[in-house]
Structure 1
């Protein structure tokens, strides 16, 4: 059995290609939706901000746009698309099947998020209800029947989750194939000891969770910046500053679990538990006086906040599990895992029941007993 090079197999190329292709398709669909709506509505009004929120999670960063009246007009560079592609490349390079499984779960969440946008966009645009376009600007924007703005963008909104779902089914299949392909790499990193393999799997789980923690925190923060935080307020600066701070804290947690630094891991676990109090934001989405602010983005924000809470809580639980595995001999595998792998495609295992001399003599070994031999070339 061989250790295959990065992207040298059909399964690896198909996995990454699936993510890349659906990323391009979905980004084009969402970009068209945003451009068509941007031409007709004022995004400075809270009720219309579901569209910028939708694209902001498919885009990277914001820029000031004096002409739109809305200071956080997203660029057309993918964010969760880039995040997902980088996670896939990292998982394939590290032969981390846990991370690939995490991407599959993450992809499932994207389906729910994209599907929710159909309802939220209709709620934002259809203030006059299910009426048809009657030739007036108001009916074109605020009705949802034939000939209206929503009728124009609805096929694109529906197509996006369908494309993501189709890609998800493909990813599930290729993840199954890669599970078998990557199993041999884990053997080289931690050996044949089942206990060590289990501990290493838990280590892979927490590293994966820490990466998703940052994405969901950034996703919630981005939506809050678009919706409620004034650009000139102190809260805006604090919220922006929180993103790199959280990134640093999560990086420290990753270093702590990899290097088995007990004091740093203890601090990280305490901070994770304290961060769970952020769930109070969920209450604000549904209670006065702030509920009107989140009228058309409540479902998306609630979905992201709940996911962020659950993933952070899972990270805390898995962190406790990994903390209990400190000083049990796994540290060298964590720190030098990839360097322990042999040169890709250079290793082969041959189970030989007869030695070469026996084969040359037609199976005779002069009466000496035959023994099984494992040859590693």
Structure 2
């Protein structure tokens, strides 16, 4: 449970927790209000599943962010801290799109009798859906300022423990970016897949089951890609890069499919949200492929000792994290650890 004892470290953690608490409370109210307004006796339709799915992913997004925040601060990972600010921006976009999507879903459900005629759901939830992106925007600015201050603190730690070798610093920076990208890839891929499987209908059985199978396969790929990078195992990285290209082709295909006249009716209830997730995921996969190639090129150039698992030593808690750095300057006897 170790965190660096720094004012800005705790400020970043507390600010993120505060944002998550407010956002989850808003989304939980919208979710509860919608569920209580549903009329009894109706079968589930793709449109009726959109609002619970949107809100569930939104809530999971903030819980996952808290995990990444703790991980970033514990490892003093400047790249991941910056990435979390961009992640927050992605959640802001999602909240803004969610407003229109939920409005359309409620109007459709009211016109078909799925929502009780006496319930004015949209009037009740509209202020909360307006407040959500505004609150996230404010917290994004606050987190960006704190991240800027943390960058100065964590950069000094890197300087002390990676020596003044600029080439080694660049290699380590590339490794940091790559590991951070893998963590963000997980959320956006999972968010896209869950919405796709729960809401989209009219799919061929083969396409549906391939999508289901892709979830555990993708998680394994992300885990092994981090493992192979730490161990500088080139055959594994070549396989990973190939699979990333396959994933890129899949998301481009699904993005095009959503706008084909012959298939677009299946995606209408969730097309805007799926488009945002697909575009962000495509950008992340392209960046991941680029960094994977650069990391592979950096193998056997002296970075491996800095990223292998080590212990802090003494009675302190053991840490086995892929990007903690030993103080090589003072030799193996020193067990001082630093950052991701």
CA-based RMSD of the aligned residues comes to 2.8
1:120/1:297 contact within 8 Å kept: yes
Indicate the residue corresponding to 1:372 in structure 2: none
Q: Distance in 2 between matches of 1:205 and 1:127?
A: 43
User: Would you say the 8 A contact 1:210–1:315 is kept in 2?
Assistant: yes
2:116 & 2:264 partners in 1: Cα distance?
A: 24
Aligned residue in 1 for 2:317: none
The separation in 1 between residues aligned to 2:146 and 2:263, in whole angstroms, is 44
CA pair 189-7 structure 1, distance change in 2 beyond 3 A: closer
Post-superposition shift, 1:189?
3.7
- The CA deviation string for residues 189-241 of structure 1, in whole angstroms up to 9 with x for no partner, is 421111111110010000000111111110111101211269xx676655444
CA displacement, residues 32-76 of structure 1 (integer Å, 9 cap, x when unaligned): 111111122368222333312211213xxxxxxxxxxxxxxxxxx
Match of 1:356? Answer: none
Contact 2:79 2:180 in 1 (8 A): yes
Q: Match of 1:219? A: 191
Taking the TM superposition and a 5 Å limit, the aligned residue runs for 1:237-276 are 238-276=210-248
Identify if the C-alpha distance between structure 1 residues 284 and 237 changes in structure 2 by more than 3 Å, giving closer, same or farther: closer
Matches within 5 A, 1:157-236: 157-228=129-200
- For residues 70-120 of structure 1, what are the alpha-carbon distances to aligned partners after superposition, in whole Å with 9 as ceiling and x for unaligned? xxxxxxxx4212211111111111111000111111110100100111111
Distance 1:258 1:228, change over 3 A: same
- Is the 8 Å Cα contact of residues 48 and 296 (structure 1) preserved in structure 2? no
Give the whole-Å Cα distance in 2 for the aligned partners of 1:296 and 1:137: 15
Shift, 1:139, TM fit: 11
Larger radius of gyration: 1
Structure 2: distance between partners of 1:318 and 1:227? 33
User: Per residue, is there more helix in 1 or in 2?
Assistant: 2
CA contact (8 A) 1:124 1:296 kept: yes
Residue of structure 1 equivalent to 2:308: 335
Query: Which residue in the other structure is 1:109 paired with?
Result: 90
**How far 1:181 sits from its partner (Å)?**
0.8
User: Does residue 1:324 correspond to 2:321, yes or no?
Assistant: no
From the superposition, tell whether residues 43 and 33 of structure 1 become closer, same or farther in structure 2 (CA, over 3 Å).
farther
Deviations 1:256-279 (A, max 9, x none): 111111111111111111211112
In structure 2, what is the equivalent of residue 24 of structure 1?
21
1:47 matched to 2:32: no
Moved over 6 A (4+): 139-143, 342-345
Q: Secondary structure at the match of 1:39?
A: helix
Q: Is the 8 A contact 1:12 1:178 kept in 2?
A: yes
Q: Deviations over 1:163-209 (max 9, x none)?
A: 21111111101101101111122124421111111110010000000
Whole-angstrom distance in 1 between the partners of 2:20 and 2:121: 25
The residue matched to 2:157 in structure 1 has which SS?
A: helix
Q: Give the corresponding residue for 1:288.
A: 261
Moved more, 185-194 or 24-33: 185-194
Q: 1:189 to 1:240 in 2, by over 3 A?
A: farther
Match of 2:103 in 1: 122
C-alpha spacing 1:29/1:339, structure 2 compared with 1 (3 Å): same
Q: Distance in 1 between matches of 2:134 and 2:260?
A: 33
Separation in structure 2 between the aligned mates of residue 84 and residue 281 of structure 1, nearest angstrom: 26
**Structure 1: 5+ residue stretches without partners:** 59-77, 130-135, 346-377
TM (norm. structure 2) is: 0.84
State the SS of the aligned residue for 1:198: helix
TM-score (norm 1): 0.76
